[in-house]
Structure 1
Amino acid sequence: MKVELKTWAGLGLATALAGAGLAGCAGEGGEGGEGGEAAQTAPAGEMGEGGEGEGGESGEGEGGESGEGEGGEGGESGSGIGALPVPQRLAFMSGHVAAGIALYRAGEAEAAAPHLMHPVSEGYEAERAGLDRLGFEPDTFRSVSTALEQGKPAGEVEPQLEAAEDNLAAMREAAGGDPAEVIRFLMEVTSEEYAAALSNGKVSDAAEYQDAWGFVTVARALADDLEGEAAGKVAATLDRMLGLWPEGAPIPPAYPAPAGQVSALASRVLLDLPQ
């Protein structure tokens, strides 16, 4: 995943992210959105051969031949993710897990595995910093990861999957924060993720496509915590957004929705959120 400082500045998070970039969600390597719709500024940490960005042969970012990507000790352990406020950081991790669990239940264990590494891999310690005080139960997520490694079907570990979902929901409640701010954060990330997932009208990076679905799923859950008439408007728009992905799980289709549709609905959510 590529998250840019220009975006965070618009969210009032420029100070928290000054000098830091977020790189490397689950194995994401797609750079362009549909027809070149990608992020509007150069992604932080995206460098060439031997660098620390994406695709370098010996880089520490995603996809490097010798690099430590998802599931390794490198991954998303940079200072950027750790600099985010806890509610946003938890929502970020929850989006990955939501995508992973949905894919696992849909029989896509291989696709699910990278997303489900976020709560357990050493590479994501910065992402999990401070979650223990919210009641984080790492053993629950380790049991899911172990089941994946052992090739068990999701039906055999449904209690563990539900326990993982319950733990994330309980932590979100304990974390507090303004749900509107967290949804705003998720919409910005969703737009960037989805644009990066598409190239020439096709899904070129399945992990980014799945991440975006996970973030919208978490945003939809948070919409129920909004107050006033904004709650219904935001929830309805998020339901429309989720309808742009295949029902049940974000398995990339032959003809995905254009990135412009996702970004337009994300903008609608931003306009309807309480200011």
Structure 2
Amino acid sequence: MTVLRPKLWTSLSAAVLLSAGVAACGGEAGEAGGAGKAAAVGEGGEAAEKGAQAVGEGGEAAEQGAAQAYGAIPAESKAALQLAHLKGFFLIAQEQKDGPEAAAALAGQGMLEVFDKDPDAFRAAGVDEAVLRKAAQSGAAADLNAAIANLDAAAAKAGGDPAEVVKGLVSVAEGIYRGVIMEGVVDPIEYQHSLGSILAAQSVAAKAGDNPKLSAAKAELDKLAAMWTGATAPETPTPAQQVSAQASRVQLALS
């Protein structure tokens, strides 16, 4: 049986709230908290270590997926992949059902994990950073739509091979998904991040027009997308091995 586990530090606001809570605890409450913490460590240290290891392994898998995608894509398609990768975070922010705050956290994570790693490339591509950051702060539907439209406009100018971009996005999604279920625990945020890359891949394929490679791979890509049952992680997501196997079929069809 799997259990859902919220991902730690999904947004800056979470860290700020925690800091405020720690600062408010002093004197006797602080001492009691320290004693409680020591007891918790003594009683559940092994479980905590396993949880920390699972988080580390999931993050490493995600990084490997992204590194593989960006390392394999031809230089002329890299900008398009970056734009689509970032767009995926805004797409899943649109799809989630938990309101503007959750949408803002997802969009903000995209800015941290994708935009902020290479901001000059996004600016050179014509991205309006202010539009994206507004959406990442508010999570409002209109702001998310504006951010996606801005990324689409930049992608239209960036060019590149859409089939290569889809291959890259599938690699990113598969890498992230390897961290969705770790030690029997489901990470709902990684689930959403991986789905965002798949939504972006479908969007690129839909906008590509009559592309022979993408036409041949569309059925396999749709089968892959169906492995995510919705924008919210279920108690029992599709096993990572099945997702990896189907991702390989998509990659083969795109070759």
| Structure 2 partner of 1:92 | 85
Matches within 5 A, 1:173-184: 173-184=156-167
Structure 1 residues not aligned, in runs of 5+? 17-83, 149-156
Matches within 5 A, 1:1-275: 1-2=59-60, 13=71, 85-103=78-96, 106-118=97-109, 124-148=115-139, 157-200=140-183, 202-203=185-186, 205-224=187-206, 225=208, 227-247=210-230, 250-273=231-254, 275=255
Deviations 1:78-121 (A, max 9, x none): xxxxxx93222222212222222322xx2244443332115656
Deviation at 1:189, TM superposition (A): 1.6
> What TM-score do the two structures reach when normalised by structure 2?
0.64
Q: Structure 1: how far apart are the matches of 2:195 and 2:110?
A: 18
Deviation at 1:12, TM superposition (A): 8.1
Alignment-mate amino acid for residue 170 of structure 1: A
Q: Structure 2: how far apart are the matches of 1:146 and 1:4?
A: 25
Contact 1:193 1:212 in 2 (8 A): yes
Deviation at 1:269, TM superposition (A): 0.8
Q: Structure 1: how far apart are the matches of 2:251 and 2:177?
A: 17
Deviations 1:121-162 (A, max 9, x none): 6994333322223331222223323324xxxxxxxx432222
Q: Structure 2: how far apart are the matches of 1:10 and 1:145?
A: 27
Structure 2 residues not aligned, in runs of 5+? 1-58
Higher Cα radius of gyration:
2
Deviations 1:5-44 (A, max 9, x none): 876786682799xxxxxxxxxxxxxxxxxxxxxxxxxxxx
Contact 2:202 2:221 in 1 (8 A): yes
194 and 207 in structure 1: CA distance in 2 versus 1, 3 angstrom threshold: same
Q: Structure 2: how far apart are the matches of 1:240 and 1:110?
A: 31
Deviation at 1:198, TM superposition (A): 0.8
Alignment-mate amino acid for residue 259 of structure 1: A
Contact 1:90 1:128 in 2 (8 A): no
Contact 2:79 2:125 in 1 (8 A): no
Contact 1:119 1:128 in 2 (8 A): no
SS at 1:136's partner residue?
coil
Deviation at 1:226, TM superposition (A): 6.3
If asked which structure has higher relative contact order (CA below 8 Å, sep 6+), I would say 2
Contact 1:120 1:138 in 2 (8 A): no
100 and 159 in structure 1: CA distance in 2 versus 1, 3 angstrom threshold: closer
Identical amino acids, percent of aligned pairs: 29
Contact 2:176 2:194 in 1 (8 A): yes
How many equivalent residue pairs?
194
Root-mean-square deviation (CA, aligned residues, Å) is 3.2
253 and 171 in structure 1: CA distance in 2 versus 1, 3 angstrom threshold: same
109 and 2 in structure 1: CA distance in 2 versus 1, 3 angstrom threshold: farther
Q: Structure 2: how far apart are the matches of 1:109 and 1:269?
A: 33
Q: Structure 2: how far apart are the matches of 1:8 and 1:145?
A: 22
6 and 194 in structure 1: CA distance in 2 versus 1, 3 angstrom threshold: closer
SS at 1:245's partner residue?
coil
